[in-house]
Structure 1
């Protein structure tokens, strides 16, 4: 155990005879163990990432070769956090003070603050935060098979396509897959909602409630509050299966898109480039691409690049584009995709489907790995 991310793990190390050299203590309140740590000198190469450390303890650790990374008390997020975000955490204060008061909104403004654009310490903290998110996602997902569902943010909750995307997410999650999305509204929210719902009946009730507030425009508050109420009702239902079913990986780069709440965990990033690459890399089982615009097209070609340059012996995920007219006429990416795939292994993994039911069959026909 090299990374220590909980106080019980730290307590176990302190009670053992094991030296602390080279350990990484991530986001821990060390004040309760200060006396024990002051008695230790075997800390060379140990790294303390954030958390609570008194000046006296920090000086002691540094004297004996440890590195103690500071944080910024003015930052709206904890850059060294060791876990994913939870919905109520990002939307804290929403009901009482409105969206602009929430950690989510404040983090977006922090990321866009021109006075901090060239502050090396702030940019370092944002980078550390994103790396912490990646580490937390790896631990949260483990080796579970992941299927991505991509699609546009503008899809309204009161549309048939939103309901179809939700039923797709439910079917995939019920079959044992973790449903991953870009974590935003629209098609992404629908897929996460369906995956989180423990039953078809629960999903139907949730869809009916959400139809009353179809969009986050013109105001985020009613849209998010309705979602949080539905989220709480879903997670309060008794379930026999406690595995991870739904994750969202959004970004503050798209600050106009609030994160959806229907996830077991939310990995939100400052860097959209790192977020996009990490999202697609984790879709090890497959990818379903619903109708979308520029952001969705970007994801299509990013995954196409991965497939194109994959080693000859690689097991490739299946990729299904849903909406024949959309992807061949309205946003005609199918032709260049198939041109790139010609004569390569990726050609056998690309599919064009007319419905989400057909897409689900194609994805579920592949053995999880």
Structure 2
């Protein structure tokens, strides 16, 4: 977890107890602040005395008398929702340790698996309250993601979930993530297994010497896929993290819509969504320094054109770079490249897209395109 940044005068969100205490200690009113998922049960005396007119408390546990007092003063209070396996008002992104808590008793016991089970049940029920909670949660995650990535040069790495550990393709994707991270980019992926995990692993390995990644790849190859056992697959990743702690940070943006695909443990910051459309659009829109598309199937093809569409209609002449990797894959197996070229010729995209055959060429191609 990153340290809590100091509060600034134009920041109206309070997302930790330390921030709350800082605002109050400065003698400031809570009026206009949004206090987000902060446990205030030990701040009753403060809440009874501070000006909270116009404040909004989102999922903040507090004593009944404190809640009554701030409501009377003119604040809005959205109380915590009991019985949920997630916090819809959360102020920060997930960490791998949080989502995989209780992994030792099996993946089914983890918050990640329990949130997926809740999603499956409530989606089948068609409960409007549950759908509202999912929307509130996803909006809170988007807000936290924007705060995390402010000022960052983000490169998205897209590719198929079926890419197995122990393959040369997986190793290549990991080396790509490492090189991008060492070049100063923030690596962002779909946050799942396969190519996504490999790129996040590479970013994690960036601070270490080159030998570390090779050894980590050998350890991970013992559990090549999340099937049949997500537990074994995830444990292998945590074994690597324990052997080489404090790796480089990257971002994973997975979804419970495809909850059978678990998130990977190498992204330090995980923005997990219930709505896949929000997740897909958010991942591509935040990849402001470009996107590298590794071989994939339907999902990756969709992402290519999801990214191409805003580039096509970009009115300022600044489409984000797009690098497609593996000529045979994108010209013959899934002939996406010819159509992308046709679109590019109609607009100012042509100088911002390229196709390379080797994954090793992707970082230089990205740089050449202005990423």
Q: TM-score w.r.t. structure 1 length?
A: 0.94
Identify which of 331, 351, 356 aligns with 1:353. 356
Q: For 1:28-64, what per-residue CA distance to the aligned partner results, in whole angstroms no more than 9, with x for missing partners?
A: 1112211121123x32221001021222211111112
Counterparts of 1:17 and 1:184, CA distance in 2: 45
Equivalent residues of 2:138, 2:274 under 8 A apart: yes
Superposed, which structure 2 residues align to 1:94-133 within 5 Å? 94-95=103-104, 97-114=105-122, 117-133=125-141
Q: Which residue of 2 aligns with 1:305?
A: 309
Q: In 2 relative to 1, CA 215–54 (structure 1 residues): closer, same or farther, beyond 3 Å?
A: same
Equivalent residues of 1:196, 1:234 under 8 A apart: no
Q: CA RMSD in A?
A: 1.5
Equivalent residues of 2:312, 2:319 under 8 A apart: no
Cα displacement (A) at 1:314:
4.2
SS where residue 28 of structure 1 aligns?
coil
SS where residue 41 of structure 2 aligns?
helix
SS where residue 31 of structure 1 aligns?
coil
User: Relative contact order (C-alpha < 8 Å, sep 6+): which is higher?
Assistant: 1
Q: Which residue of 2 aligns with 1:208?
A: 218
- 2:254 aligned with 1:250: yes
SS where residue 345 of structure 1 aligns?
coil
Q: Which residue of 1 aligns with 2:149?
A: 141
Counterparts of 1:64 and 1:161, CA distance in 2: 60
**Which deviates more, 211-220 or 160-169?**
211-220
Identify which of 322, 325, 328 aligns with 1:325. 328
- 2:197 aligned with 1:189: yes
Counterparts of 1:213 and 1:115, CA distance in 2: 32
Q: Which residue of 2 aligns with 1:82?
A: 91
Counterparts of 1:114 and 1:52, CA distance in 2: 24
Cα displacement (A) at 1:236:
4.2
Equivalent residues of 2:61, 2:80 under 8 A apart: no
Counterparts of 2:249 and 2:287, CA distance in 1: 13
Cα displacement (A) at 1:296:
0.8
Counterparts of 1:27 and 1:317, CA distance in 2: 35
Counterparts of 2:318 and 2:237, CA distance in 1: 37
Cα displacement (A) at 1:282:
0.8
Equivalent residues of 1:87, 1:261 under 8 A apart: yes
Counterparts of 1:5 and 1:209, CA distance in 2: 38
SS where residue 349 of structure 2 aligns?
helix
Identify which of 54, 74, 78 aligns with 1:69. 78
Equivalent residues of 1:85, 1:267 under 8 A apart: yes
Equivalent residues of 1:151, 1:291 under 8 A apart: yes
Q: In 2 relative to 1, CA 236–245 (structure 1 residues): closer, same or farther, beyond 3 Å?
A: closer
Counterparts of 1:250 and 1:193, CA distance in 2: 15
SS where residue 251 of structure 2 aligns?
strand
- 2:235 aligned with 1:225: yes
Structure 2: segments with no counterpart, 5+ residues:
1-10
Where has structure 1 moved over 3 Å in runs of 4 or more?
Answer: 114-117, 365-368
Equivalent residues of 1:47, 1:66 under 8 A apart: yes
**Which deviates more, 316-325 or 16-25?**
16-25
Cα displacement (A) at 1:115:
7.2
SS where residue 342 of structure 1 aligns?
helix
Q: Which residue of 2 aligns with 1:4?
A: 14
- 2:59 aligned with 1:50: yes
Q: In 2 relative to 1, CA 114–7 (structure 1 residues): closer, same or farther, beyond 3 Å?
A: closer
Counterparts of 1:188 and 1:171, CA distance in 2: 15
SS where residue 127 of structure 1 aligns?
helix
Counterparts of 1:337 and 1:67, CA distance in 2: 49
Q: Which residue of 1 aligns with 2:263?
A: 259
- 2:283 aligned with 1:275: no
- 2:341 aligned with 1:338: yes
Cα displacement (A) at 1:114:
4.4
Q: For 1:164-198, what per-residue CA distance to the aligned partner results, in whole angstroms no more than 9, with x for missing partners?
A: 11001101100100110000000001111011102
Equivalent residues of 1:78, 1:129 under 8 A apart: yes
